[in-house]
Homo-oligomer: A and B are copies of this chain.
Amino acid sequence: MAIDHLDGRIIVLLAREPRVGVLEMSRRLGVARGTVQARLDRLQSNGVIRGFGPQVDPAALGYPVTAFATLQIRQGQGADVRAHLATVPEVLELHTTTGTGDMLCRLVARSNADLQRVIDLVVGFDGIVRASTAIVMENPVPLRIIPLVEQAALGE
């Protein structure tokens, strides 16, 4: 679970240029190919690297509107709400949280008007008491991991 400097460099290199192969990585990093392969295998079995799935842009798919919805759930209905939200394709992720709301979910929609449909779809379920939505305007920091990996590689 601890990440050393070489692990960090492997992940960062992979994040910056996903197309490089193991051989090319070993050349860039100045280590033997077997080392890179062993490190990669370890990182994956550790769960540090979950996979290499394609990063799909919802906007390019026709869903340019993103929003975050905070949901308040009726007592004991949590499981039902989770199951319900899992069936809505526009719900990209769902978290249960502490704080004023009970759940936080990320939504996408084809337009602001379409967002109304999505919200109705989400909220139109018995266990949800109240929903408060924030529409995303800009995304100054897109989901990233490199700085954290670099910190983990140095600090540990």
- Interface residues of A, Cβ cutoff 8 Å to B: 1-3, 11, 14-15, 18-19, 46-63, 66, 68, 70, 82, 85-86, 88-101, 104-106, 108, 132-145, 147-152, 156
Contact = CB atoms under 8 A, between A and B. Distances in A.
A9 to B, nearest CB: 13
Given A18-B54, A96-B136, A140-B82, A3 B61 contact: yes
A37 to B, nearest CB: 14
Nearest to A82: B140
A54 B14 contact: yes
Nearest to A144: B92
Nearest to A140: B82
The 10 closest A-B pairs by CB, nearest first: A89-B147, A99-B134, A94-B141, A97-B134, A18-B52, A50-B55, A48-B60, A82-B140, A96-B138, A93-B143
Given A18-B51, A55-B51, A148-B89, A97 B82 contact: no
Contact of A93 (B63, B91, B144): B144
A58 B148 contact: yes
A79 B120 CA distance: 34
B54 A52 contact: yes
Nearest to A61: B152
